[in-house]
C-alpha cells in the first residue's frame, strides 16, 4: 500500500513544478494530521517504510532533516532523522519506520545515500501527528527536486543512473580546483618527490624529544602524567617537561570508499590483483576500495607502506605535531616513535541493553566484560610513548539532550538486572510502596511494579523525575567506574583520558569523573574555550579535546564537515584560532585534529564525505592550513604560559554542510 505525501505545503521557498528554490536559511515542508488522529497512513501497520525521492541540483551535497512530533509536544521536534545526498544524483531514501524506536544512532546506508543519523528519544508511531522535511541552512540559495514522498509496505527497489563521479585517483570527477592532481603520472612524481625528502626535524628547538617544552620543567616520573602548576593544568612528558598534546587523528594510508552502495559512480576501481590487494577489502557483504593506497602502490610498488610512513611522519614533524591521535594505524605508531593516545577497543557491554549501546551495568556480565576489556592494556604497561587511553568514543546513548537513562531503563521490555537494582534503590528511598506510589502519582501495589515497562516515567511527577535522574547518575557512575578500575590495575603508569563524549548533553554525564586523569570531549566549535571551561571549572580537571575540524567547499569535496569555513585560507585561520584560544584556558591540555586524510568524496563506511583532511587523496598537503599549523605550534606554549596573547582573528564561517 502506498500513501501519497504530495500534500505537503510550502512554508518557505518557491516551488517550480518539482523544483524547490531553498533560501539560505533552509526549506520547510510540513504535513500535519487531523487533531487527535495519527499521521495519515501511519495507522496502517503494513506501512513499514517512508520513502523520499530527491535530487540536489548544485555542485555541493544537500543535507536534510526529517522531523517528527508526537501529539502534545511543545518542543522543536521529538525526533530528527538527518541524511545527506550527493550533488546531481537522483537519490531514493528508504527509511524503515522501526527507526522511531531510536535504538540506532547511525542506520545502515542505502544505495546512493550518504550518512543517516537519528536524534531524539523514542517516538510512538501512533502518536505522531506532524512530519516536516527541511533542508539545513546553507551559505547560498540552493535548488532541489522532490519527485515523491510516500509510505509503503516493503523496501523499494533502488536503481542508480550510472555516471562517473570519481576519477582513477579517487578525486571528484568533472570539476577542477587549485591543486588538483591532473594525471596518474603527476601523482606518481609528486609522491616520489615527497618520499625522497630527508627525515624532518622539529622546527622548534625549545622542544624536547617528546614535543614537551624544555622551558617549563615540572615533576619527572618517567611517564606522561597530569600536573597542576601555578594554577594551570599541564600534561607532563617522561622527561618532566610541560606538554600540550597537539595531535592528528586517523593517521593511516588513504581512506576507504564504500563501493557497494556507490558502484555505479566509480568507473575505475583498483585492480583485483595480488599487488593491489591492500587497496581492496570486504567486511562481510560490504565492499571497500582505498584509492590512497592504490595511488601509493602505483608510485612505489611493494615498498609503498614504508614510503607512505616516511611521508606521513615528515608531515607531522615539520608542522610541529607531537601526538599521533586516535584510530591511527598501529604499525605507523611504532614506526613514528612519537607520543600517542590509545582508543581502547570493545568497550564492555551486555547482551541485553538499556538503550542504544548503554549496557545493563548492574549485571555480573558487565563487570566480567570490564575485567576482560582492561587486559588489552597489559602489554603497554611500560610504553613511555603512550600518553594515555580513551575508554571509548562518543557513546551513542549520550547524543540525546535531556535523556534520562533510568527512564529508558523503565521503558525497556526486558527483565534487566539494573531494574532490580532500581527496585532496591527505591526501597531505600521510600518507607513503603504506598509512599513511592504517592510521590510518583501512580497506583503502585508494590516495589515490584518497577519491573513492569513504563513509558516516559519522568512525566509522572516532579519527584519521579528527580528520582530517575538521581538513579541515572548511579548507572552512569557504574558504567564508568567498573572498566576504569580494572584499567588502572592493568596500566598503572598511564592516564585514563575519559570517554570522549560528543558533547555534554546533561550534567549526569560527568558522573564517574573521579576515575579520569583527564576529562575528554569532542568539541566541534570555532573555539573550544566555553566547553573546556565549563567542564574544567565544575570538576577542577584538565580537559583534552579529542576531535575538532573545519572544512570548506573549494577543493574537490562536496561537504564541509561539522564546522564550515569560507576557504582553505580560512581553514588555516580556524586552526590557529581554535588551538591558541584553547591554550589560553588553564584547563586545556591539548586537542587532536580530525583527521589526517580527506574523507572519500563518495563517502567512507558510514557516508561522511567531508573536506577536512590535512592532505588529499593523492597526499598533497593543503598549504594554507599547513602554514598556520606550523605558526600556531611555534607559539602555543608561550600562549599557555601567559607570555603572549592568543591569536585573535576569527575565521570567516559558513553554515556547515554535514550529516
| Structure confidence by residue, pLDDT tens digits, 217-236 | 999 999 999 999 999 999 99
The pLDDT-based confidence of 557 (bands split at 50, 70, 90) is very high
The pLDDT-based confidence of 32 (bands split at 50, 70, 90) is confident
Nearest-5° angle of CA 256, CA 623, CA 250? Answer: 30
Least confident of 54-58, 123-127, 250-254, 405-409: 123-127
Torsions phi, psi of 482, nearest 5?
Answer: -60, -55
For the whole model, what pTM was predicted? 0.95
Residue whose C-alpha is closest to residue 426's, from 459, 454, 409, 448: 448
Please tell me the predicted confidence (pLDDT) of residue 162.
93
Residues, the chain:
659
Q: Is residue 353 scored above 70 in pLDDT? A: yes
- For the segment 318-332, the average pLDDT, to the nearest whole number, is 98
The H or E element containing residue 386 is: strand 386-390
Share of the chain above pLDDT 70, in %: 97
Strands laid side by side in the 286-290 sheet: 256-258, 286-290, 280-283
Please tell me the predicted confidence (pLDDT) of residue 196.
96
Least confident of 42-56, 175-189, 308-322, 612-626: 42-56
The pLDDT-based confidence of 17 (bands split at 50, 70, 90) is low
Q: Is residue 481 scored above 70 in pLDDT? A: yes
Q: Is residue 1 scored above 60 in pLDDT? A: no
Cis link prior to 206 (omega < 30° from 0)? Answer: no
Q: Is residue 5 scored above 60 in pLDDT? A: no
366-375, pLDDT tens digit by residue?
Answer: 999 999 999 9
Average pLDDT, the chain: 95
Alpha carbons 133 and 27: distance in angstroms, whole number: 8
Cell of 437: 506510589
Residue whose C-alpha is closest to residue 479's, from 405, 557, 389, 586: 405
Alpha carbons 621 and 198: distance in angstroms, whole number: 17
Q: Is residue 15 scored above 60 in pLDDT? A: no
Please tell me the predicted confidence (pLDDT) of residue 506.
86
The pLDDT-based confidence of 16 (bands split at 50, 70, 90) is very low
Please tell me the predicted confidence (pLDDT) of residue 174.
84
Give residue 460's Cα distance to chain centre. Answer: 34
491-539, pLDDT tens digit by residue?
Answer: 999 999 999 999 898 899 999 999 999 999 999 999 999 999 999 999 9
Please tell me the predicted confidence (pLDDT) of residue 7.
53
422-475, pLDDT tens digit by residue?
Answer: 999 999 999 999 999 999 999 999 999 999 999 899 999 999 999 999 999 999
For the chain, helix, strand, coil in percent to 5 are: 30, 25, 45
Cell of 458: 519522568
Please tell me the predicted confidence (pLDDT) of residue 13.
46
The pLDDT-based confidence of 12 (bands split at 50, 70, 90) is very low
Number of H helices, E strands in the chain: 12, 31
Amino acid at each position: 500500500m502506498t500513501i501519497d505525501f504530495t500534500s505537503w505545503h510550502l512554508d518557505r521557498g518557491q516551488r517550480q513544478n518539482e523544483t524547490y528554490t531553498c533560501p539560505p536559511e533552509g526549506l520547510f515542508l510540513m504535513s500535519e494530521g487531523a487533531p487527535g488522529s495519527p499521521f495519515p497512513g501511519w495507522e496502517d501497520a503494513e506501512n513499514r517504510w517512508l520513502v523520499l525521492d530527491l535530487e540536489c541540483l548544485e555542485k555541493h551535497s544537500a543535507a536534510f532533516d526529517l522531523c517528527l512530533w508526537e501529539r502534545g509536544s511543545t518542543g522543536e521536534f521529538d525526533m530528527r532523522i538527518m541524511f545527506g545526498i550527493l550533488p546531481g544524483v537522483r537519490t531514493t531514501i528508504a527509511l524503515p519506520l522501526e527507526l522511531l524506536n531510536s535504538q540506532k544512532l547511525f542506520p545502515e546506508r542505502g544505495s546512493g545515500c550518504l550518512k543517516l543519523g537519528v536524534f531524539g528519544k523514542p517516538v510512538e508511531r501512533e502518536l505522531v501527528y506532524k512530519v516536516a522535511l527541511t533542508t539545513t541552512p546553507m551559505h547560498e540559495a540552493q535548488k532541489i527536486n522532490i519527485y515523491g514522498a510516500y509510505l509503503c509496505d516493503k523496501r523499494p527497489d533502488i536503481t542508480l543512473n550510472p555516471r562517473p563521479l570519481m576519477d582513477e585517483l579517487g578525486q571528484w570527477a568533472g570539476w577542477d580546483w587549485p591543486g588538483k592532481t591532473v594525471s596518474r603520472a603527476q601523482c606518481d612524481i609528486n609522491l616520489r618527490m615527497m618520499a625522497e625528502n630527508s627525515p624532518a626535524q622539529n622546527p622548534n628547538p625549545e622542544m624536547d624529544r617528546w614535543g614537551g617544552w624544555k622551558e617549563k620543567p615540572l615533576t619527572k616520573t618517567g611517564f606522561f602524567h597530569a600536573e597542576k602548576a601555578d594554577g594551570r593544568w599541564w600534561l607532563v612528558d617522561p622527561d618532566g617537561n610541560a606538554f600540550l598534546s597537539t595531535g592528528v587523528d586517523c593517521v593511516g594510508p588513504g581512506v576507504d570508499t564504500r563501493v557497494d552502495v556507490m558502484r555505479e559512480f566509480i568507473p575505475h576501481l583498483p585492480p583485483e590483483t595480488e599487488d593491489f590487494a591492500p587497496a581492496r577489502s570486504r567486511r562481510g557483504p560490504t565492499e571497500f576500495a582505498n584509492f590512497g593506497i592504490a595511488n601509493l602502490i602505483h608510485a612505489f610498488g611493494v615498498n609503498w607502506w614504508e614510503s607512505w610512513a616516511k611521508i606521513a611522519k615528515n608531515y607531522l614533524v615539520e608542522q610541529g605535531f607531537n601526538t599521533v591521535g586516535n584510530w591511527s594505524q598501529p604499525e605507523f605508531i611504532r614506526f613514528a616513535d612519537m607520543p600517542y593516545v590509545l582508543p581502547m577497543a570493545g568497550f564492555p557491554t551486555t547482551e541485553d541493553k538499556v538503550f542504544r549501546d548503554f549496557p545493563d551495568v548492574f549485571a555480573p556480565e558487565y563487570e566480567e566484560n570490564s575485567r576482560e576489556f582492561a587486559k588489552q592494556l597489559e602489554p603497554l604497561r611500560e610504553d613511555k610513548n603512550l600518553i594515555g587511553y580513551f575508554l571509548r568514543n562518543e557513546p551513542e546513548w549520550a547524543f540525546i539532550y535531556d535523556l534520562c537513562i533510568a527512564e529508558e531503563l523503565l521503558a525497556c521490555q526486558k527483565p534487566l538486572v539494573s531494574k532490580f537494582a532500581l527496585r532496591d534503590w527505591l526501597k531505600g528511598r521510600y518507607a513503603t510502596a504506598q509512599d513511592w506510589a504517592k510521590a510518583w502519582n501512580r497506583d503502585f501495589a508494590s516495589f515490584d511494579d518497577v519491573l513492569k515497562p513504563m513509558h516516559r516515567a519522568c512525566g509522572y511527577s516532579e519527584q519521579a523525575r528527580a528520582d530517575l535522574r538521581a538513579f541515572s547518575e548511579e548507572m552512569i557512575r557504574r558504567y564508568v567506574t567498573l572498566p576504569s578500575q580494572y584499567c588502572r590495575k592493568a596500566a598503572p603508569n598511564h592516564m585514563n583520558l575519559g570517554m570522549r563524549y560528543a558533547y555534554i548533553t546533561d550534567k549526569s554525564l560527568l558522573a564517574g569523573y573521579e576515575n579520569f586523569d583527564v576529562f575528554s570531549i569532542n568539541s566541534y566549535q570555532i573555539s573550544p574555550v566555553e566547553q573546556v571551561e565549563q567542564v574544567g571549572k565544575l570538576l577542577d580537571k584538565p580537559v583534552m579535546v579529542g576531535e575538532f575540524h573545519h572544512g570548506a567547499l573549494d577543493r574537490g569535496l562536496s561537504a564541509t564537515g561539522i564546522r564550515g569555513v569560507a576557504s582553505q585560507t580560512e581553514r588555516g585561520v580556524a586552526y590557529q584560532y581554535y588551538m591558541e584560544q584553547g591554550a589560553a584556558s588553564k584547563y586545556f591540555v591539548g586537542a587532536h585534529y580530525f583527521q589526517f586524510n580527506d574523507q572519500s568524496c563518495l563517502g567512507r563506511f558510514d557516508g561522511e564525505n567531508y573536506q577536512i583532511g590535512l592532505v588529499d587523496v593523492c597526499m598533497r598537503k593543503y598549504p594554507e592550513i599547513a602554514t598556520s599549523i606550523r605558526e600556531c605550534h611555534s607559539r602555543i606554549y608561550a600562549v599557555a604560559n601567559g607570555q603572549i596573547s592568543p591569536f585573535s582573528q576569527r575565521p570567516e564561517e559558513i553554515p556547515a554542510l554535514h550529516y
